[in-house]
Each structure stands twice: as C-alpha cells, then as structure tokens.
C-alpha cells in the first residue's frame, strides 16, 4: 500500500492536517445541529483552526484518533471505504474472547448490513497510561473484561461495536488508536497537534 502520509505531504505541501485525541462524549463535528440549548461538546470546544474538517467520524461514545484536514482529497482517502484505509481500534470488551471468537472476527462476521471484511484481531494487554474516561464503563463483578486490538478497512456505522457483540463480547470502551500511519502516541485526551 502506498504510504498515505508521505504521498500527500509530497504532493500537497500546503495541506493542514491535525491529529486530535477526541474525548468520550464529544461530537465529531464543529457545530451541534441539535437543540439550541444543547450543551454537548463539539470539536470547536477543543480546536480553533479555521478551514479544517474531520476526515471520517468517531461516534460520540467512542474516543481516540480523529484526523482533520483542509485537503478534500485526503479527507476522501481516509473516510471513503473504497480506499480501504486501515484503522486500528482498542476495544475493551465484556468477557475474554476465546480463539473461536477471535477467528470469527478475523474471517468476517455477519451483521444486519452484510458480512464484514476480514479484520486483524488480537487480544492485548490493557493500554499503558490510559486516560480516565469522563463516564466510567459498566463493570460487572461476576464478568471479567479484556482488551482486543481490531484493525478494519471498512467504515460501517458502529462497526467494531457490532462485530464484538456478534461474537458475544459487547464493547464497553472503544478507542481508535491508528488511522493509516498516524497514531495517538503522545496525545492526551482532548489534545491535538499538527501531523
């Protein structure tokens, strides 16, 4: 696969690209089209850079890497599923998936909108130096939880959550760690930097 980052840096040196660690409960847009009195946080509560837009979305209840850019071609490259840009998520799931569940995710699972493409999936240790979440996850004393790394190249709505639920391990917390070659490394929750 062509190095996405290097290709766009070389071709369009004037592109502004921002990496943002989106906190839980923040909308992936600059305005809230909800009610006038809405108190929901948006990107504008964290980023005051004109002319950049999110390349893809991250659900309000998910956290992690969001790429913003002023380059429409780069935005399409990242967000359009036909480009198959890999995205890696860290999912804290209910229970401990066995090899059969992991293999099902690797091969693709059937969802209401069709079968998913194969994913790269592995159990992982809990992420080091993980920031606290503003709203704690649901914890059950009788059911353990574990962390799974999931890399997909599609972009269906709430895909990782639906995939883990399909194999019997609902997602409790979801963090997008990587998009193409960009990662969250060095970014605290709510912080951003130029790529």
From 32, 59, 61, 70, active-site residue: 59
CA 195 to CA 185: how far, in whole Å?
A: 12
Q: Judge whether 54 and 27 are in contact, CB under 8 Å.
A: no
What sign does the dihedral 150-156-157-161 (CA atoms) show?
A: negative
The number of angstroms, rounded, from the C-alpha of 164 to the middle of its chain's C-alpha atoms is 15
Contacts of 4 (CB under 8 A, 6+ apart): 77, 78, 85, 180, 181
Q: Judge whether 164 and 91 are in contact, CB under 8 Å.
A: yes
145 is catalytic: no
Q: Judge whether 64 and 91 are in contact, CB under 8 Å.
A: no
Would you name the residues annotated as active-site residues?
59
């Amino acid at each position: 696969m062509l190095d996405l980052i290097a290709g766009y840096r070389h071709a369009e040196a004037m592109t502004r690209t921002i990496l943002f660690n989106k906190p839980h409960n923040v909308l992936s847009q600059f305005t809230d089209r909800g009610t006038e009195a809405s108190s929901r946080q948006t990107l504008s509560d964290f980023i005051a850079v004109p002319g950049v837009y999110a390349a893809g979305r991250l659900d309000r209840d998910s956290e992690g890497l969001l790429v913003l850019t002023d380059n429409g071609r780069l935005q399409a490259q990242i967000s359009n599923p036909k480009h198959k840009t890999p995205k890696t998520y860290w999912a804290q799931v209910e229970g401990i998936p066995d090899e059969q569940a992991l293999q099902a995710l690797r091969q693709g699972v059937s969802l209401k909108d069709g079968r998913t493409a194969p994913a790269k999936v592995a159990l992982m240790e809990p992420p080091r130096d993980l920031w606290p979440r503003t709203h704690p996850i649901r914890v059950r004393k009788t059911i353990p939880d574990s962390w799974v790394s999931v890399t997909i190249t599609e972009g269906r709505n709430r895909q990782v959550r639906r995939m883990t639920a399909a194999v019997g391990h609902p997602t409790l917390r979801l963090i997008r760690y990587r998009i193409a070659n960009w990662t969250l490394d060095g970014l605290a929750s709510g912080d951003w930097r130029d790529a």
